Amino acid sequence: MQRSLGAPRAVLPLQRPAQRLVARQRGALQVRAASTSSNDFKNGMTIEMDGAPYKVVEFLHVKPGKGSAFVRSKLKNFITGNTVEKTWRAGEPVDLASVEKKETQFTYAEGDEYVFMDMQSYEETRITKDEDWAKYLKEGMDVGVLLWNGKVISVEVPNTVELEVVETDPGVKGNTAGSGGSKPATLETGAVIQVPLFISTGERIKVDTRTDSYLQRAS
């Protein structure tokens, strides 16, 4: 006598792990923790090290004649403001910081305290001045306020801004875009960057805020 084995069980498909790193929560952009490699460092990238969030300020890939390649980096602690230098193995895994970005508008400054408003809830956020981002701020500019574990850690300005040159040496006649050379220029927000010799006071230019570099004249 054969025993009945019953109906075969249905085989459920394997569920893939969630790969979404971004979700919206109450109007804010939540970036969940993930990892990257030291080979993929970019200026401005936010990583987590020793239980604290850091911004990659500078990095350099080094491939010596003998030995393994490595990456030198300069990192800024968002909490303390201190800058440290660290060397990584090439390709070494690095944790990205779990950062929430809240879209706000810069409204005004009171001394070293800068005030940002959530234009949906009209909630104000006050942040102590940090020259890294403050030097490019204009009233009414849309920016991101960055939070880590619920604590405000920084402000994210647009990658490119258009600003007026308020002070620079006079342009020399005959200097053109192909002439080469540069000179310091003070912008309307107080930032000082290097610009081509043909740029004059009163002109509007486009600036890359990640590298503090001149891009082009504004159209």
Give pLDDT, residue 210.
85
Asked if the model's pLDDT at residue 130 lies above 80, the reply is yes
CATH 3.40.50.410 holds for 101-156: no
Asked if the model's pLDDT at residue 16 lies above 80, the reply is no
Q: Mean of the pLDDT values across residues 209-215?
A: 91
CATH of domain 160-217: 2.40.50.140
Its sign, for the CA torsion 140, 144, 149, 152, is negative
| pLDDT tens digits along 78-119 | 988 899 999 999 999 999 998 899 999 999 999 999 999 998
Cβ atoms of 207 and 136 closer than 8 Å: yes
Q: pLDDT tier at 33 (50, 70, 90 boundaries)?
A: low
Cβ atoms of 191 and 213 closer than 8 Å: no
Q: pLDDT averaged over the chain?
A: 83
Q: Distance (Å, rounded) from C-alpha 157 to C-alpha 75?
A: 19
Cβ burial of 4 (10 Å; 0-12, 13-18, 19+) is exposed
Token pair 């930032």 is at which residue? 191
Give pLDDT, residue 65.
85
Asked if the model's pLDDT at residue 195 lies above 90, the reply is yes
Query: Mind giving me the DSSP string for the chain?
Result: -PPP--SPPPPPPPPPPP---EEEETTEEEE---EEEGGG--TT-EEEETTEEEEEEEEEEE--SSS--EEEEEEEETTT--EEEEEEETT-EEEBP-EEEEEEEEEEEETTEEEEE-TTT--EEEEE--HHHHTT--TT-EEEEEEETTEEEEEE--SEEEEEEEEEPPPPTT--TTS--EEEEEETTS-EEEEETT--TT-EEEEETTTTEEEEE--
Query: Which residue intervals of the chain bear CATH 2.40.50.140?
Result: 101-156, 160-217
Q: Distance (Å, rounded) from C-alpha 7 to C-alpha 24?
A: 44
Query: Which residue intervals of the chain bear CATH 2.30.30.30?
Result: 22-95
Q: pLDDT tier at 20 (50, 70, 90 boundaries)?
A: very low
| pLDDT tens digits along 133-164 | 999 999 999 999 999 988 899 999 999 999 99
CATH of domain 22-95: 2.30.30.30
